[in-house]
Copies of this chain bind each other. A is one copy, B any other.
Amino acid sequence: MMDDSRQFTLRDYTLDNRRLLLNETLFHNANGYLGVRYVFEEGYPQGFNSIPGQYINGFYDITDMDQPERLYGLAQQKQVMLNVAETQTIKAYFDGEVFSMFTGTILKSSLTLDMNRGVTIRQVHWMSPQGRELRLRVTRMASFDQLTLFTIDYELTPINFSGEILLESVHNGSVSNASDPHDPRNSNVSVQYLTPFSTQVQNNNSVIESMTSESGLKVCSCVHNVIDGEHTQEFLFNNNSSVCRLTVSADEGETIRLIKYTALCDSIRYDDCRAQAGEEIDKALSVPIETLYARQQTYLEQYWDNCYVEVAGKYDLNTALQFNLFQLIQSVGKDDHSNITPKGLSGEGYEGHFFWDTEMYLEPFFTVTNPEMTKCLIAFRYSTLEYARENARIMGHQQGALYPWRTIMGRECSGYFPSGSAQYHINGDIAYSIIAYYLATKDDDFIIDKGAEIIFETARLWLDVGCFFRDQFHINDVTGPDEYTCIVNNNYYTNVLAQHHLRWAVNFYKMYRRRAAFKRLIARIDLTQDEIAAFLHAADSMFLPYDTELKINPQDDSFLQKEKLDLQSIPEDNFPLLMHYHPLYLYRHQVSKQADTVMAHFILEDAQDIETIRNSFLYYEQITTHDSSLSECIYSIMAARLGMVEKAYDYFSKTVFIDLADHYNNTRDGIHVANMGGNYMTIVYGFGGLRIKRDGIHFAPIIPEQWEHYAFHISFEGNRIGVHVTADTCRFELLSGSPTDVTVYNKSYRLDDTLDFDMQTKIPRG
């Protein structure tokens, strides 16, 4: 373990607004239930922009989304993740002065994300305009052990003065969501969705209850301030906010410590969210905060062990890699009311909606590291299956379920359906992730309990959307992953995924048909033998476009007859293209926003021969802009799998820093969670060559020359396997569990302790 790599520290604060907004995202605290952006407790001077967001995963309001032409079935409302009551503010006054990073002199400062302890720590040594020196140390935590809890541990030490210090701890229920009228990926209006209806102080708890306008949901935030030693306390409050004024007499050199506990409870999870919030505060106060810190560390020790991965070499990207993995555990919803937003709980980009990112970029990580998390994510989809059925009817389908492209509570939120609801592959993605979860865990009970129903209902939809034409099964008028080409016929990605999906529907049916619980399911959803036969027939007849001249899989039926966009001639400022070209112009050209056919080849390599996969990779690489952060990681994986190690490394090194280096210039709106999962995948599924198929687990490691070694642990069928790769050798170790077969470089071996291999460089397939 290289523990140092799990700390990330910025020294000597840069106070420009751009950097501060970026820090708000990078240093946010979250635990999958709540998320708090990193805003200075003492606030900012006038003129600074800040997005002081505090979010709850899956907590939403509903708002109108007027369609300029109200065609039938277009979503005319959407759900929006809400910014809930602000509980971050703490102001420190002493003898007519007030602490601020923007006045006086910062003698020393740092901001640290400690990913082993699961806290952020700000340290400042500061001199006031009148010469008072003080040290400030603020430790913030979103507790993994107690998901409703966020703490600010505020330690202030006067260095060269003594006297009364007044701390004002604010709790403000009057909050709005952020907006950016210039970026179509964000909301264009700043809206106050939540209305506080009760603000009270009881037992020194400041309690604000708020209600949404449309969704009828409530949230309660309860704040409790604890200060060491003798002090006076008074509360000021109005209808929607309270201030707790704490006055303490401080001696030079003596540290004052204020701990501000926030409990956030919503009415989705709790019948009585007000009572619950009070109980959560009581629970937190029942032990010293050091106990909470210790629990946080214990939780993360387990996490880091589960998803252990490290790289070491010429350019050490390890800290960035750990940063990315840390964001995954911060972002993942841990109950079936929530999922993973593309920005985690770090910002409001994409308005807190859930997309396919979860299934295709994040579950591949969790499934082989923390399979319980994947189970929970699938359970979320299961809990919204009824809405997917409703959505299928809206879209004109007589049977089956169609998951919405973007949603919080289960209903479609796509404003522009050609690159939204038309992405029917979401059904295949969800099915794929269930199959992958099954392959990695063999968790039959969960499949029978939840997975199979999703698989069958979404499989039914393929039969309804597709049709036979000249004896082949066609899927017309859908959109694949590439949003620069919409509403096409026979998108390769969609079709090959649907084929896989339909085949597994048949597999599961055959596997479980004699089990009682499964029989009850079959009866309940009225699944017939004829349908199973139809699934198989459609899968076997699936039309997969192939171009005999180029020997590639065309992205769709007509992709290759379009003109290529000359990407070289486009000024750099015109990327991402979606911000500078009309959709029709993009649709009309051979240009891809992101991996599409190449993505299909990653997830379903056995559907095609390696030469077609290679040709396709080389072809699409030329016309892909990677305007989506979901793209380069897939290109990295496929380059690795095709033996183009240098190229794989280049893609990897771009993606690993996407947020830390603000590569897309929009990390202020939130981290790019899918890419973080993609980052893990590049190492484990790309360089490590991991595949989990019906015939077992495969590896085919390669290593970039910039690295001395890399290593990772994965979980497979309850066993834990360690992989350690150097330039010359690779070792596989059974860390726990029972002996298991592994395929390495295409040959099968029994792993009961360790296996060692020489590194190979020619790897036709994993």
Task: Establish whether residues A69 and B476, one from each chain, have CB atoms under 8 Å apart when the complex forms.
Answer: no
A184 to B72 CA separation, bound complex (whole angstroms): 8
Q: Chain B residues with Cβ under 8 A from A395's Cβ?
A: 582, 584-585
Q: Chain B residues with Cβ under 8 A from A561's Cβ?
A: 469-470, 474, 476, 489
Task: Establish whether residues B562 and A417, one from each chain, have CB atoms under 8 Å apart when the complex forms.
Answer: no
**Among B184, B417, B421, which residue has its beta carbon within 8 angstroms of that of A70?**
B184
0/1 string, A483-517, CB within 8 A of B gives 1: 00011010000000000000000000000000000
The verdict on A748 contacting chain B, using a C-beta distance below 8 Å, is no
Q: Chain B residues with Cβ under 8 A from A708's Cβ?
A: none
The verdict on A229 contacting chain B, using a C-beta distance below 8 Å, is no
Given contacts A70-B184, A476-B562, contact A465 B417 (CB under 8 A): no
The verdict on A578 contacting chain B, using a C-beta distance below 8 Å, is yes
Q: Chain B residues with Cβ under 8 A from A476's Cβ?
A: 558, 561-563, 587-588
**Among B72, B465, B487, B557, which residue has its beta carbon within 8 angstroms of that of A487?**
B487
The verdict on A706 contacting chain B, using a C-beta distance below 8 Å, is no
Q: Which segment of A60-68, A710-718, A733-741 sits at the interface?
A: A60-68
The verdict on A2 contacting chain B, using a C-beta distance below 8 Å, is no
The verdict on A43 contacting chain B, using a C-beta distance below 8 Å, is no
Interface SS majority for chain A: loop
Which residue of B is nearest A422, CB measured? Answer: B584
The verdict on A396 contacting chain B, using a C-beta distance below 8 Å, is yes
Given contacts A476-B561, A486-B487, contact A588 B465 (CB under 8 A): yes
Task: Establish whether residues A477 and B588, one from each chain, have CB atoms under 8 Å apart when the complex forms.
Answer: yes
Task: Establish whether residues A417 and B72, one from each chain, have CB atoms under 8 Å apart when the complex forms.
Answer: no
Contacting B at CB under 8 A, from A174-192, are 184, 188
Given contacts A476-B562, A584-B396, contact A68 B71 (CB under 8 A): no
The verdict on A104 contacting chain B, using a C-beta distance below 8 Å, is no
**Among B184, B487, B582, which residue has its beta carbon within 8 angstroms of that of A69?**
B184
Q: Chain B residues with Cβ under 8 A from A66's Cβ?
A: 66, 68, 188
The verdict on A418 contacting chain B, using a C-beta distance below 8 Å, is yes
**Among B418, B469, B562, which residue has its beta carbon within 8 angstroms of that of A418?**
B418
Task: Establish whether residues A583 and B68, one from each chain, have CB atoms under 8 Å apart when the complex forms.
Answer: no
Given contacts A396-B581, A418-B418, A561-B476, contact A587 B487 (CB under 8 A): yes
The verdict on A579 contacting chain B, using a C-beta distance below 8 Å, is yes
The verdict on A696 contacting chain B, using a C-beta distance below 8 Å, is no
Least CB distance from A547 to B in Å reads 12
Given contacts A486-B487, A562-B467, contact A587 B477 (CB under 8 A): yes
List the interface of chain A (C-beta within 8 A of B).
Answer: 65-75, 78, 184, 188, 394-397, 414-418, 420-422, 465, 467, 469-470, 474, 476-478, 486-487, 489, 557-558, 561-563, 578-585, 587-588
